[in-house]
């Protein structure tokens, strides 16, 4: 399944619409421009199997570049725009990228960085140059696929480089799941409010193109603008994160009521745990059309919870539709129904971490069942409930944040003896990053001044999303005999302190 068939069948239908500017690109135009990108990339020496990196905001040319790379058998690697020069360099070097395309906005922020591969500046001049290329397919077409990076608790990102499909007729899993559970069809109008450099927005929107629907791409998320886009474009399906729902529900009731949202057939979410109360409010507002899925960039398994499933079992993330759930103990063996343990998938979609066989092996147990690192339980009917994350990953606004990288940065500061980074509950973002710090001198002479100093230091080496929102100072941080921080107890104690302080107030 490939969007080029709609260039012939429905050439004038919009493949995508930019929600802010209103710019539309038809399937005929997407076909032509993707072919031009393919010729341009071949001219740069990009061969089948090479990696083409793209670091851009939700840019009007994003889909054209991705589909162009896909037509020459390349792996298209999308990189978050907030990363630092060092973070970007690591990913490009590890992925062995042949070329990196960076938006003008990104390059201005990074200050013309020195990166380990040739860089093309995505601006009007580049677009004009690409559009001098032939509009017909390259002679040696081959189907490509994505290559995505998912950070790890060591602070080093993990590359997931999937095998390229055998043919252009290949239908990714998102096409089948979207069609079966989330009202995906040729007449779908899909709202994409999240950055395309995340796996879910990228994969789900490309699935819409494979089915011949229309994507409404938001340049950036705004709650009011999202509702206006649904009404204006008669959006039928939207994929969100819980933070999006929280921000829309936070709008004045009159603002929400003035928009006609009756075109919606399905809204589904993932990316972060959704508080039960928040989801109940969303269902009360939009109706019983809100589903969800649980998976990961690795794609080893996937669960789906329809709205009916969730209403019958609040908190579930559904039953497996790819792979088979296995809840395992520390010995790797399956636990009885209802017991809590590490979530693994039997009969998984095989995967490996690029250039990291040790980390790949660590993801699997003796039965060949991989894990995404989450803790959970299943009920007698096979419904999964997630209860924790084995590696204390923080999910804030749908973005995965890994504490170790932040801890490593703060430990470089001369005033820090020890640090533990945890995720604290946040009504809007799901979780917020909090650093518990053991100063070298206790008590700290001036905690607000030290917090400000650490904040400045963190921002010099970390993306903004990773910078702690709060610093809490402790005389000592508890560790086990093996030297591991007892993060769960540290977090629980801080939650208890905060609750006691609210009650006292």
Q: What are 162-201's pLDDT values in tens digits? A: 888 989 988 888 999 999 999 999 999 999 999 999 899 9
Residue 55 lies in a domain: yes
pLDDT of residue 183: 94
DSSP-derived 3-state class of residue 220: coil
- Assess whether 132 and 155 both reside in one domain: yes
Q: Check whether 308 has a pLDDT greater than 70.
A: yes
User: Which tops the pLDDT comparison, 126 or 490?
Assistant: 126
CA 391 remoteness from chain centre? 17
Q: Residue 8, exposed/middle/buried by CB under 10 A (0-12, 13-18, 19+)?
A: exposed
Q: Check whether 310 has a pLDDT greater than 80.
A: yes
pLDDT of residue 504: 67
Please give the backbone phi and psi of residue 259, each rounded to the nearest 5 degrees, phi first: -100, 135
CATH number of domain containing 292:
3.40.50.980
| Residue 253, domain extent | 171-297
Q: What is the pTM of this model?
A: 0.82
**How far apart (Å, rounded) are the C-alpha atoms in residues 186 and 142?**
25
Please give the backbone phi and psi of residue 361, each rounded to the nearest 5 degrees, phi first: -60, -35
**Average pLDDT score over residue span 100-122:** 95
Among the candidates 362, 389, 416, a domain finishes at 389
pLDDT tens across 345-368, in order? 999 988 889 999 998 999 999 999
**Average pLDDT score over residue span 289-312:** 95
- Assess whether 51 and 68 both reside in one domain: yes
pLDDT-derived band of residue 482, with 50, 70 and 90 as boundaries?
Answer: very low
Tokens read off for 58: 């939700």
pLDDT of residue 452: 97
**Average pLDDT score over residue span 420-435:** 91
pLDDT of residue 371: 94
pLDDT-derived band of residue 221, with 50, 70 and 90 as boundaries?
Answer: very high
- Percent share of the chain, pLDDT over 90: 73
- Assess whether 306 and 369 both reside in one domain: yes
pLDDT of residue 388: 65
pLDDT of residue 488: 80
pLDDT-derived band of residue 12, with 50, 70 and 90 as boundaries?
Answer: very high
Report CA-CA distances (Å) from 148 to 196, 218, 461, 466: 11, 21, 22, 19
- Assess whether 177 and 133 both reside in one domain: no
Q: Check whether 155 has a pLDDT greater than 60.
A: no
Among the candidates 246, 271, 297, a domain finishes at 297
- Assess whether 430 and 450 both reside in one domain: yes
């Amino acid at each position: 399944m490939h969007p080029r068939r709609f260039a012939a069948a429905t050439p004038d239908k919009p493949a995508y619409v930019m929600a802010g500017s209103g710019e539309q690109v038809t399937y005929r135009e997407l076909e032509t421009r993707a072919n031009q990108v393919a010729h341009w990339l071949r001219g740069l020496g990009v061969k089948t199997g090479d990696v083409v990196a793209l670091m851009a905001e939700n840019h009007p040319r994003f889909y054209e570049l991705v589909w162009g790379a896909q037509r020459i058998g390349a792996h298209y690697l999308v990189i978050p725009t907030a990363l630092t020069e060092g973070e970007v360099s690591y990913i490009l070097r590890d992925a062995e990228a042949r070329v990196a395309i960076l938006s003008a906005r990104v390059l201005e922020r990074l200050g013309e960085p020195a990166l380990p591969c040739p860089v093309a500046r995505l601006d009007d001049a580049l677009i004009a140059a690409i559009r001098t290329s032939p509009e017909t397919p390259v002679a040696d077409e081959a189907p490509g696929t994505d290559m995505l990076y998912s950070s790890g608790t060591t602070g080093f990102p993990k590359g997931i480089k999937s095998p390229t499909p055998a043919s252009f007729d290949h239908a990714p899993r998102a096409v089948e799941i979207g069609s079966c559970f989330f009202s995906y069809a040729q007449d779908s109008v899909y709202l994409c409010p999240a950055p395309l450099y995340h796996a879910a927005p990228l994969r789900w929107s490309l699935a819409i193109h494979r089915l011949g629907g229309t994507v409404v791409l938001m340049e950036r998320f705004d709650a009011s603008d999202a509702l206006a886009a649904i009404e204006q474009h008669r959006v039928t399906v939207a994929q969100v994160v819980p933070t999006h729902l929280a921000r829309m529900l936070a709008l004045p009731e009159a603002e929400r009521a003035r928009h006609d949202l009756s075109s919606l057939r399905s809204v589904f979410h993932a990316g972060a745990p959704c508080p039960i109360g928040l989801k109940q409010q969303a269902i009360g507002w939009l109706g019983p059309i809100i589903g969800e899925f649980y998976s990961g960039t690795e794609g080893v398994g996937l669960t789906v919870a329809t709205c009916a499933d969730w209403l019958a079992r609040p908190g579930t993330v559904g039953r497996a539709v790819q792979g088979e759930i296995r809840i395992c103990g520390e010995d790797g063996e399956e636990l009885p129904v209802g017991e809590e343990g590490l979530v693994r998938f039997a009969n998984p979609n095989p995967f490996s971490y690029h250039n990291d066989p040790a980390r790949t092996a660590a993801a699997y147990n003796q039965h060949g069942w991989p894990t995404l690192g989450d803790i959970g339980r299943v009920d007698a009917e096979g419904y999964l409930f997630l209860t924790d994350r084995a590696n204390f990953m923080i999910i804030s606004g749908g973005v995965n944040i890994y504490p170790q990288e932040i801890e490593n940065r703060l430990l470089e500061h001369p005033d820090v003896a020890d640090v533990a980074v945890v995720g604290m509950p946040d009504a809007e973002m799901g979780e917020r990053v909090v650093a518990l710090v053991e100063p070298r001198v206790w008590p700290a002479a001036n905690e607000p001044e030290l917090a400000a100093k650490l904040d400045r230091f963190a921002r010099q080496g970390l993306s903004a999303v990773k910078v702690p929102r709060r610093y809490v100072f402790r005389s000592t941080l508890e560790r086990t005999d093996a030297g591991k921080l007892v993060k769960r107890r540290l977090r629980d104690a801080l939650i208890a302190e905060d609750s006691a302080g609210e009650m006292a107030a």
